Structure 1
Amino acid sequence: MHGTPLPSKLAGPPLSDREAVADACFRAFASIDHAEESLLKSSCTADIYTDIASKVCNGYDELKTKVWENVATKLDTVHYLTNMRVSVDTPTTARGYDPESGKFTTGAIYNCDAVKEDDDVWKLKTMKSSHVWGEGDPSIMAGH
């Protein structure tokens, strides 16, 4: 864990649907950077489907064990989410369109779908990445 745990719910007035969908994305990636599973759980549906860096996961448990545990607990990461656009389709669905140094930096475009669950919280339903560039030693991601 990296310091004080981040809250799953924010204080203050309720977020708009558009802000809440973006927050689900921020929580998902912050869960990796802060090794905070409560953020991951709060941001994903139980049946989430992901295809990240050609690693497909069906369901939360598979995402957690195949990807999250290996990356969040074994690597130092920083995810910057920028240029986010959110389309709220219905009241409950939304869509979003140096090698020796031991470092690997990559740029990717993520396409995510979200749903509002019974607890009135937006959660990610699918995530798919298209990696557009990488720099450094990609072998450090082997097994992650």
Structure 2
Amino acid sequence: PATLSSPASHPLTPRESIADAIYRIVNGLDSNDLDLFVSGWTEDAVFDINGIESKGLLALKENLFGSISKLDTTHFVTNMRISISEGGETADLTANALSQHFRRGEGMKGGKGWLAGVLYRVEVVKVAGVGEEWKVRDLKVVTLWAEGDVTVMG
């Protein structure tokens, strides 16, 4: 994935920075880039998919990255809505996503895949440091529909 320019030379707006936290996570999954994936989360982050939770960065690395990054995947995130708190330190985000999954090496073979339409509900926080960096503290994924072979997911 592309590396963003230095914040000092081309600063992102707060909304762009908030959206970028989600993009870092899904691009990290799709490109099997653990550093990029981790850069989008707080240390105490919670990931909930259809009521199944993983708590803390270590659990996210093992449960989420450990399973999804081993697949041929693409995650398309769209219809993003962002509400920044009055203090400017937290934000709520909702988005829709299409998540396509194939077993590793099977994506170009036209074989069985699993496609899911999901809703993201996200809590994002501004982190101290240089520039305007935001990270996901809580990500809830609700599957609205799916088609294909769910056994692809492991």
Q: Is the 8 A contact 1:87 1:95 kept in 2?
A: yes
The answer to whether 1:88 aligns with 2:73 is no
The answer to whether 1:126 aligns with 2:126 is no
Q: Gaps (5+ residues) in structure 2?
A: 95-109
Q: Please give the alpha-carbon distance, in whole angstroms, between the structure 1 residues aligned to 2:34 and 2:50.
A: 21
Structure 1 position 78, deviation (Å): 0.4
**Structure 2 length-normalised TM:** 0.81
Structure 1 position 18, deviation (Å): 1.0
4+ residue runs of structure 1 moved beyond 3 angstroms? 9-12
Higher strand share: 2
Q: Is the 8 A contact 1:111 1:129 kept in 2?
A: yes
SS in 2 for 1:77: strand
Q: Gaps (5+ residues) in structure 1?
A: none
Q: Which amino acid aligns with 1:76?
A: D
Match in the other structure for 1:10: 5
Structure 1 position 55, deviation (Å): 2.9
Once the two structures are superposed, residues 64-109 of structure 1 have per-residue CA deviations (whole angstroms, 9 ceiling, x without a partner) of: 101111111x201000010001111132101013xx9321111101
Q: Which amino acid aligns with 2:89?
A: T
Q: Please give the alpha-carbon distance, in whole angstroms, between the structure 1 residues aligned to 2:147 and 2:51.
A: 18
Match in the other structure for 1:112: 122
Q: Please give the alpha-carbon distance, in whole angstroms, between the structure 2 residues aligned to 1:53 and 1:60.
A: 19
Match in the other structure for 1:56: 53
Number of aligned residue pairs = 134
**Structure 1 length-normalised TM:** 0.86
Match in the other structure for 2:112: 102
Match in the other structure for 2:107: none
Among all aligned residue pairs of Structure 1 and Structure 2, give the percentage whose two residues are the same amino acid: 32
